[in-house]
Amino acid sequence: MPRSKARSENELFNDALSMLSPGTTIREAVSYILQSGTGALMCFGPPKRLADLSEGGVNIDAAITPQILYELAKMDGAILLNQDGTRILHANRFLKPRSAISSNETGTRHRTAERMAKQGKCIVVAVSERRSSVTVYVGDRKHILDSIPTLLNRASQVLQTLEKFIHALNQDMHDLSTREFQDMVTIFDVCRTIQRYERVVRIAAEMEPYILELGEEGRLVDLQLQELMTPIEEAELVIRDYFRQKGKYNHNQIRQKLSELPTSDLANLGNISQLMGYSQNLRSVDTYLSSRGYRILTQTHRLTSQIIDNLVDRFGTLQQVHRAPKEDLVEVDGVGEVLAERIRVGLNLLQNQLVMERR
């Protein structure tokens, strides 16, 4: 896959997990190496950078295959590959990272691998014949690959936790919708829903390394995750519905700031209220808030994002859209008589459905 010149450590780590996932050429070669009881040291990165931190060896410059990589691993030195892991550059190469770089590893191979990853800002994979393990080093990060059953078990546990949080999020959004039609939404209702939304996003992010590392074995897990995350786009619109326009941030900036909040700060609803442009003391916000209507209108079929924007720009709040007579709706750009009637019927049906469900 193409890469930008400067990639973050997290992006490189995800690249490493992808290259070493089941079903890939490199993972197949690693399996051969482990089965034969030998070891290997592989470095992935820009050719010039790797060349500057190594010497000697044999120039290969050939497309990678599991068989070639396995045979080259029988040599004592390291194997250098390009960033994508598609070509073998050198074999039997002597690595020379600075010895002053700190390392907590005891074995020579793993100590060299850790120092090489830190100095070269690259991916280094150490296959240990003694430990029968595969260790990935990316910058300052170290990760030992787990077996597929272990990964599936851990992913399943995260999915179960995620499912519980999403169920709670759906309940919060249902309650919020009911209050929106009653025009009785408080800042507490809004912040609690946003808090739940952000927690769901963070738990879902924990799934990415498992899915990447599982490779072909993670397809069903990925499908489960995508299915569970369906309500997330709707939940994100809560921020757009209620952020204070005279506040410090717009809704996109609030979403970014929210993702940067430490977990301990996220637990305090006052911090979320402050990000939204209100007081940190939720009790001081003693008036009801009116939704702009982005989230509810999104649930009304056949409304494009542009038409929703036009409706919000014209009426300002969900209540005003809901109460607007048909002739006023028709005046909105993109809304004809048929669509105007569908908007009115759709909102009424949704309101009645919420009332029925509550009973």
pLDDT above 70 for 350: yes
Q: Are strands 78-81 and 40-44 parallel, antiparallel or unpaired?
A: parallel
* Residue 357: per-residue pLDDT: 76
Per-residue pLDDT tens for 240-260?
A: 999 998 888 999 999 999 999
Chain-centroid distance of CA 61 in Å reads 35
For residue 321, the number of C-alpha atoms closer than 13 Å in the C-beta half-sphere is 33
Mean pLDDT of 190-201: 96
110 pLDDT exceeds 60? yes
> CB–CB of 188/248 below 8 Å?
no
Look up the pTM and report it.
0.81
First-to-final CA distance of the chain: 53
Q: What are the helix (H) ranges across the chain?
A: 9-19, 25-35, 47-52, 66-72, 108-120, 148-182, 187-205, 207-214, 219-228, 232-242, 251-260, 263-266, 269-275, 294-298, 305-315, 318-323, 326-330, 337-358
What is the pLDDT, as a whole number, of residue 285?
64
State the architecture of 292-359 in CATH terms: Orthogonal Bundle (1.10)
Q: Check pLDDT > 80 for residue 359.
A: no
**Residue 94 pairs with which residues in a beta bridge?**
55
CB 21 within 8 A of CB 212: yes
pLDDT for the residue numbered 358: 67
Q: Compute the average pLDDT of residues 218-238.
A: 93
With bands split at pLDDT 50, 70 and 90, how would you rate the model's confidence at 171?
A: very high
In the block, residue with structure tokens 């014209």: 314
Task: Tell me how far apart the alpha carbons of residues 337 and 327 are, in angstroms, rounded to a whole number.
Answer: 8
When pLDDT is averaged across residues 111-124 and rounded to a whole number, the result is: 96
Reference 237, options 251, 227, 257; nearest CA is 251
Within 8 A by CB and 6+ apart from 316, the residues are 292
The mean pLDDT of the chain is 92
pLDDT digits (tens, 9 = 90+) for 309-338: 999 999 999 999 999 999 999 999 999 999
Q: So what's the pLDDT on residue 6?
A: 52
Confidence of residue 3 (pLDDT cuts 50, 70, 90): very low
Average pLDDT over residues 213-228: 93
Determine the pLDDT at residue 252: 95
Contact 89, 107 (CB under 8 A): no
- For the segment 67-72, the average pLDDT, to the nearest whole number, is 96
pLDDT confidence of residue 263: 95
Q: Do 9-145 and 146-291 agree at the fold level? A: no
Average pLDDT over residues 213-227: 93
Domain ranges of the chain: 9-145, 146-291, 292-359
**What's 185's DSSP letter?**
B
pLDDT of residue 325: 93
Query: pLDDT (tens digit, 9 = 90+) per residue, 248-296?
Result: 899 999 999 999 999 999 999 999 999 999 988 887 766 789 999 999 9
* CATH number attached to the domain at 9-145: 3.40.1700.10
Domain 146-291 has CATH 3.40.50.300: no
